């Protein structure tokens, strides 16, 4: 067993161990005592089937990431697996279990640290506790993409809606990268602003966090006052034209998870020296425009959909690999023009030495 596997497994085991070992008296976010620990123990026992299902799904996700190089060489299988996982996130994790993480949890945790802390309060929601524990481990290992790209019900709904829109021919809007980069900073401004408010007035912070549509869509299933429903519908509608619109520009939770992403342990997203310089295929197909014009992947925006990694290994898609394959077959290969290169001179790959 590799060191990486040991680290990830140990993290998940410790998270579950904390859950079952809980200590102290239960408190609410304001620090008021609410009783002993018997209630959360019973909650975990009664929900053991749901806990088992969530645990198995997390094990599957870990397997996909640890065996990434095996999966990304099998485009069809990974595409179906990812689609199935997104449907699971929407159907079971979101609509059935209502296990949607929120920035409210982040601010509640921060507030609890300043008013008197106990694990027992957080153990009252077994699925949320396990999901947050796993998310912390996943962020430390791979960054925000593991949760945002695979486990977030609202994010999954946006992605599948955008896929459907593309299939029926809805024209996509692709903001210029400079504008996209600036707009993506909005979510960090929202996060820091609401975090500051939460330190002084948690009630007001929760009201400001209505910028998150999770409560309306996932928890209440649109059974709510019309302004909240309209706001959520607009965000979902925007995702038909701009992939994961909310994730890109407004997600407060995404910003909270992105901040520690720069310190992640693993960076397994492979790139070639031709990426960005001679080819923009991955940048143009990236769901959230996390690849800049020079070919570098912005880890703070990447949702680990693995689409670029599928291209990396596909000798019918990646120009350097196509050239290598066609040279072996004795044919001359001309790399395809990307959108930004049409009308200009396309540099040729000079030979096998140009392929990483």
pLDDT at 184 over 80: yes
Mean pLDDT score, 157-173: 95
pLDDT number for residue 245: 96
Residue 310 or residue 37, greater confidence: 310
pLDDT number for residue 284: 87
pLDDT number for residue 280: 87
pLDDT tens digits for range 56-104 = 999 999 999 999 999 999 999 999 999 999 999 999 999 999 999 999 9
pLDDT number for residue 38: 63
- Domain extents in the chain: 3-268
Burial of 45 (0-12, 13-18, 19+ CB in 10 A): exposed
pLDDT number for residue 24: 34
Mean pLDDT score, 325-352: 55
Q: Identify the band that residue 336 occupies on the pLDDT scale cut at 50, 70 and 90.
A: low
Mean pLDDT score, 25-46: 56
- Between 38-47, 277-286, 293-302, the lowest mean confidence (pLDDT) is in 38-47
Residue 139 or residue 3, greater confidence: 139
pLDDT number for residue 324: 86
pLDDT number for residue 316: 87
SS (H, E, C) the chain: CCHHHHHHHHHHHHHHHHHHHCCCCEECCCCCEEECCHHHHHHHHHCHHHHHHHHHHHHHHHHHHHCHHHHCCCHHHHHHHHHHHHHHHHHHHHHHCCCCCCHHHHHHHHHHHHHCCCHHHHHCCHHHHHHHHHHHHHHHHCCCHHHHCCCCHHHHHHHHHHHHHHHCCCCCCCCCHHHHHHHCCHHHHHHHHHHHHHHHCHHHHHHHHHHCCHHHHHHCCCCCCHHHHHHHHHHHHHCCCCCCHHHHHCCHHHHHHHHHHHHCCCCCCCCCCCECCCECHHHHHCCCCCECCCCCECCCCCCCCCHHHHHHHCCCCCHHHHHHHHHHCCCCCCCCCCCCCCCCCCCCCCCHHHCC
As a whole number of angstroms, the distance between CA 272 and CA 7 comes to 29
Phi then psi for residue 10, to 5 deg, are: -60, -40
pLDDT at 214 over 90: yes
Mean pLDDT score, 277-281: 86
Q: Identify the band that residue 355 occupies on the pLDDT scale cut at 50, 70 and 90.
A: very low
Token pair listed for 21 = 């070992």
pLDDT number for residue 326: 82
Mean pLDDT score, 5-33: 39
Q: What percent of the chain stands above pLDDT 70?
A: 81
pLDDT number for residue 333: 52
pLDDT at 182 over 60: yes
Please give the radius of gyration of the chain, using alpha carbons only, rounded to the nearest integer: 22
Mean pLDDT estimate for the chain: 82
pLDDT number for residue 45: 85
pLDDT number for residue 31: 35
pLDDT number for residue 36: 46
pLDDT tens digits for range 293-330 = 888 899 999 999 999 999 999 888 888 888 888 887 77
């Amino acid at each position: 067993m590799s060191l990486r596997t040991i680290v990830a497994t140990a993290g998940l085991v410790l998270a579950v161990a904390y859950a079952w070992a809980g200590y102290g008296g239960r408190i609410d976010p304001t620090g008021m005592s609410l009783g002993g620990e018997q209630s959360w123990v019973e909650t975990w026992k009664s929900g053991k089937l749901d806990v088992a299902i969530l645990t198995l799904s997390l094990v599957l996700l870990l397997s996909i990431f640890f065996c990434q190089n095996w999966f990304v060489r099998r485009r069809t299988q990974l595409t179906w697996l990812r689609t199935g996982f997104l449907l699971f996130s929407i159907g079971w994790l979101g609509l059935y279990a209502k296990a949607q993480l929120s920035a409210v949890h982040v601010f509640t945790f921060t507030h609890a640290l300043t008013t008197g802390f106990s694990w027992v309060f957080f153990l009252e929601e077994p699925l949320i506790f396990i999901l947050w524990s796993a998310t912390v481990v996943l962020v430390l290992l791979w960054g925000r993409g593991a949760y945002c790209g695979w486990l977030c019900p609202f994010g999954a709904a946006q992605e599948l809606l955008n896929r459907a829109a593309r299939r029926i021919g809805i024209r996509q809007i692709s903001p210029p990268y400079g504008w996209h980069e600036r707009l993506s900073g909005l979510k960090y401004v929202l996060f820091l602003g609401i975090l500051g408010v939460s330190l002084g007035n948690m009630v007001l912070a929760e009201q400001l966090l209505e910028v998150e549509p999770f409560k309306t869509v996932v928890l209440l299933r649109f059974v709510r006052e019309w302004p909240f429903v309209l706001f959520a519908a607009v965000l979902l509608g925007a995702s038909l034209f701009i992939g994961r619109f909310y994730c890109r520009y407004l997600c407060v939770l995404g910003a909270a998870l992105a901040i520690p992403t720069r310190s992640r342990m693993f960076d397994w997203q492979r790139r070639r020296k031709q990426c960005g310089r001679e080819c923009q295929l991955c940048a143009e197909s990236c769901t959230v425009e996390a690849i800049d014009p020079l070919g570098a992947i912005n880890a703070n925006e990447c949702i680990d959909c693995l689409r670029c990694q599928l291209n990396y290994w596909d000798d019918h898609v990646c120009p350097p690999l196509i050239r290598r394959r066609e040279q072996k077959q004795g044919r001359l290969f001309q790399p395809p023009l990307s959108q930004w290169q049409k009308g200009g001179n396309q540099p040729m790959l000079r030979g096998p030495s140009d392929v990483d």
